[in-house]
Amino acid sequence: MVSTETGRPADTGVRGPGRAAIPQRQLRTDRWWLPQLATAVGLLAFIGYSTWRAFDGVYYYAAPYVSPFYSPCLAANCVPVRGGADWALFGDWWRLSPALLVLIFPLGFRLTCYYYRKAYYRAFWSAPPACAVAEPHARYTGESRFPLILQNLHRYFFYVAIPFATILTYDVALGFRNARGEWGHAGLGSFVLLGNVALIWAYTLSCHSCRHIVGGRLKHFSRHPVRHRLWQFVGRLNVHHMLLAWLSLASVGLTDLYVYLVASGAFADPKLF
């Protein structure tokens, strides 16, 4: 909306014309800012750690475990990963950390995730700060302009997330071997990787886009019983999407940390059987 007096965009926020004239900034008396603060701290902690590890480029393979930050290997400068997904598609010319070729895809999936959008919009942009708390922005354009219009790519990032989760599942299977490549062995790291990939699959399948893909645009569930069951399963996961988003984010960071500590010699991986 454009002001007829100034010719500039009119104030369309909560203080705009036609909105209720409430002098107080907000009427909540509880500590509504605590969840946003906790969200900001949690996201910043993960961003700081993952940025360091992404550029570090070392200590990401402790046979037979490979960090989820570095799988699959897409450059020739990866350390040898016995039996792992080592494709070296980028050859010898890639000199930076090989994680930078991988993390862009799970990052894009999480960055465009409906829950994460809500979380970091509130925590970092105060859009809005919380329910029943007026946002400080004079204008609101939603996700209709660049760069936020790129959030519509979420479904396509979901399609890419599926093969990445599959590769991590393959890495888990390889984790049930010893350093000589013999099957039937397991260390603590084997179950660390297993728990991580289980949370990643749960988070991925609980995605709103996944729910729409398996059951959306159907007029008669009775005519599509298989898709109906899948829709119900994903719906049950979707109820816990926020929890799974945080648990999987923490697990992928802790799994990388575990591999880093074992690979750097901080401690030896305890053998369970």
- Are 59 and 53 in contact by the 8 Å Cβ rule? The answer is no
How is the chain split into domains, by residue range?
A: 33-130+155-263
> For 210-269, what is the HEC assignment?
HHHHHHCCCCCHHHCHHHHHHHHHHHHHHCCHHHHHHHHHHHHHHHHHHHHHHHCCCCCC
| Range ranked top by mean pLDDT from 12-26, 214-228, 246-260 | 246-260
Bigger pLDDT: 128 or 193?
193
Decide if pLDDT at 263 tops 50: yes
Both structure tokens of 185: 């062995």
Per-residue pLDDT of 179-209, as tens digits, reads 677 787 899 999 999 999 999 999 999 999 9
pLDDT at 52: 97
Average pLDDT, the chain: 88
pLDDT at 86: 61
Decide if pLDDT at 264 tops 70: yes
pLDDT at 6: 47
Per-residue pLDDT of 87-125, as tens digits, reads 677 777 888 898 998 999 999 999 999 999 999 999 999
**Dihedral of CA 26/28/34/36: which sign?**
negative
pLDDT at 231: 93
Determine the Cα–Cα distance for residues 126 and 137; give it in Å rounded to an integer: 8
Both structure tokens of 176: 């049930």
Decide if pLDDT at 131 tops 90: no
Identify the band that residue 4 occupies on the pLDDT scale cut at 50, 70 and 90. Answer: very low
Share of the chain above pLDDT 70, in %: 88
